Amino acid sequence: MNAIAQTAADLLRAGTPFVLATIVSRHGSTPRTAGTRMIVTGEMRALGTIGGGLMEARVLAKAREVLASGVPVLMPFDMTHSDVAGMDMICGGRLDVLLETVRPGTPAALAVDAWSRAALASDRDAYFLTLIRSDGGAVAGITHGVLQNGRLICGDLDLAGEAATAIVRECGRLKGLQTAGLEDGCLLIEPIFPAETVFLFGAGHVAQPTARLAKMVGFRVVVVDDRPEFADTARFPEADEIRVIPEFDRALSGLAIDRRGYLVIVTRGHLHDRSVLRQALRTPAAYIGMIGSRRKRDHIFDSLLKEGITAEDLKRVCSPIGLDIGAESCEEIGVSIVAELVAARARNRAA
Walk along the chain (351 residues) and give the pLDDT tens digit of each residue: 567 878 888 898 899 999 999 888 776 545 557 778 899 998 888 888 887 778 888 999 999 999 999 888 888 887 665 444 444 444 456 788 889 999 998 888 888 888 777 776 655 567 888 888 887 767 888 888 887 776 777 777 766 656 666 666 665 566 677 777 777 778 888 887 777 999 999 999 999 999 999 999 889 999 999 999 999 999 999 999 999 999 999 999 999 999 999 999 999 999 999 999 999 999 999 999 999 999 999 999 999 999 999 999 999 999 999 999 999 999 999 999 999 999 999 898 877
Answer whether residue 11 is part of any domain: no
Is 233 found in the same domain as 323? yes
Same domain for 222 and 303?
yes
Rounded-to-integer distance, Cα 139 and Cα 126, Å: 26
- Taking the C-alpha atoms of residue 233 and residue 104, their distance in angstroms, rounded to an integer, is 32
Structural domain of 135: 105-194
Q: How far apart are CA 267 and CA 172, in angstroms?
A: 41
The confidence score (pLDDT) of residue 161 equals 56
Q: Output DSSP code: residue 81.
A: G
pLDDT of amino acid 90:
43
* Angle separating helix axes 2-13 and 107-120, nearest 10 degrees: 130
Structure letter (DSSP) for residue 29:
S
Specify if 6 maps to a domain: no
Listed residues 171, 194, 217: the one ending a domain: 194
Same-domain status, 204 and 163 = no
- Mapped onto helix, strand or coil, the DSSP state of residue 255 is coil
Question: In this structure, are residues 293 and 273 in contact, taking their beta carbons and an 8 Å threshold?
Answer: no
- Specify whether the CB–CB gap between 75 and 62 falls below 8 A: yes
**Coil/strand/helix, residue 33:** coil
- For residue 86, the model assigns a pLDDT of 47
Residue 293 lies in a domain: yes
Instruction: For residues 222 and 79, state if they share a domain.
Output: no
Residue 52's pLDDT is what? 75
DSSP-assigned states of every residue in 182-210: ETTEEEEEEEEPPPPEEEEE--STTHHHH
Would strands 241-244 and 220-225 be described as parallel, antiparallel, or unpaired? parallel
Region class of 227: left (phi > 0), else alpha (psi between -120 and 50), else beta = beta
Supply the pLDDT for residue 308.
94
Q: Which class for 310: exposed (0-12), middle (13-18), buried (19 or more C-beta within 10 A)? A: exposed
Report if residue 129 sits inside a domain: yes
Residue 248 gets which letter from DSSP? G
The pLDDT value recorded for residue 91 is 47
Report the number of distinct structural domains present in the chain.
Answer: 3
Report d(CA 148, CA 155) in Å as an integer: 12
> In the Cβ-directed half-sphere of 94, how many Cα atoms lie within 13 Å?
6
Helix (H) or strand (E) holding 22: strand 18-27
Does residue 182 lie within any of the structural domains? yes
